Amino acid sequence: MIYRKYGETFRRIREQSHLSLSDFSSIGISKGALSNFERGKSMMNFEKVTSALQIMGVSLEDFEAFLNDYSLNEPDFLIQEIEKATAAEDKNQLLKLIKVSENQNFSHIALAAKSSLRVLTTEEIEEITDYLYEIDIWSYRELCIFYLTMENLSTRDILYILDLFLAPGHSFLNSRKYQGYLLQACCRAVTVFSSRGYREYGEYILNKIEQYELVNSMFLRNLRNITRGYWIYCFVDKEEGNQLMLSALSIFEAVSTPDNFNYYKHRYEKLVKKLNN
């Protein structure tokens, strides 16, 4: 059964931690329920698995890595390659990834790659919007698809989906890794809202970034700064906003990869040019 790998991995961690089946009763997991989970006979709900991992001092990210033998599964690998090709502005690689995704029936991943090349059609936008609204449990994959296709989505849909993640107590807020993914989605949303003239929506998301302290690395701080600079450029003071964006770009040039620097430089040029036309 599909549950078996989860249970077997959990059992190995538990035994390595020198914990018995009964050591999890304090969080409402009985010996029988845990035994059935470890033998692949039943599944435990997400909250109980997370609580049990905390008792063993194992993060959800580590558990996921154990499950996948520290390698990405095929859909997540494709997403990662799409992100790399997008940053490198490698159109030929994106076309190859679209073909591979379609051949593997990963239609929504294919749409994510297409959105890095062109504006999606009305039918494609409807398909990706329906897909995003049907998601119950979000992971790295779904969040990346949302991020990559965001510029094709309606303002209402972007705001609705982001509000799901920014609700108090959302599990993304408990994970440093997912905080980073969420910040990138928030920054993309601020840029989209600002380019569409929605000052209040952009400011709302910027305030949420600060409220939840989503900035946890130099890269993310710089991304937040260039995004904030664009919002200021659009609605407050062009000179101040432009200076903040140029300062962030100089940091990207100094510490990031050439592909990342060129990607953000070209986005800056495109967005500023669009406003001035």
Closest by CA to 86, choosing from 272, 259, 270, 274, is 259
99 in the same domain as 15: no
77 in the same domain as 21: no
60 in the same domain as 81: no
77 in the same domain as 55: no
pTM of the model: 0.78
Q: Residue 258, CB half-sphere, CA atoms under 13 Å: how many?
A: 0
For 110, 115, 148, 157, 270, the CA distances from 120, given in Å and listed in that order, are 11, 6, 11, 16, 18
Alpha carbon 262 to its chain centroid, in Å, reads: 21
Q: Residue 23, CB half-sphere, CA atoms under 13 Å: how many?
A: 13
Residue 275 located in a structural domain: yes
Q: What sign has the CA pseudo-torsion 154, 160, 165, 166?
A: positive
Residue 148 located in a structural domain: no
268 in the same domain as 202: yes
Residue 17 located in a structural domain: yes
Of 14, 35, 67, the domain-final residue: 67
Per-residue pLDDT of the chain (277 residues; tens, 9 = 90+): 556 788 888 998 898 888 999 999 999 999 999 999 999 888 888 888 889 999 988 888 778 777 776 556 788 889 999 999 999 999 999 999 999 999 989 999 999 999 999 999 999 999 999 999 999 878 888 999 999 999 999 999 999 999 999 999 888 888 888 899 999 999 999 999 999 999 999 999 999 999 999 999 999 999 999 999 999 999 999 999 999 999 999 999 999 999 999 999 999 999 999 888 7
Residue 140 located in a structural domain: no
Inter-residue contact 227 to 267 (CB < 8 Å): no
105: exposed, middle or buried (Cβ count in 10 Å: 0-12, 13-18, 19+): exposed
Q: Tokens standing for 44?
A: 């435990």
182 in the same domain as 109: no
83 in the same domain as 31: no
Residue 147 located in a structural domain: no
272 in the same domain as 201: yes
277 in the same domain as 163: yes
CATH of the domain at 25: 1.10.260.40
277 in the same domain as 160: yes
Range of the domain at 225: 154-277
81 in the same domain as 26: no
Number of structural domains, the chain? Answer: 3
191 in the same domain as 93: no
Backbone torsion region of residue 6, taken as left when φ is above 0, otherwise alpha when ψ lies between -120 and 50, otherwise beta: alpha
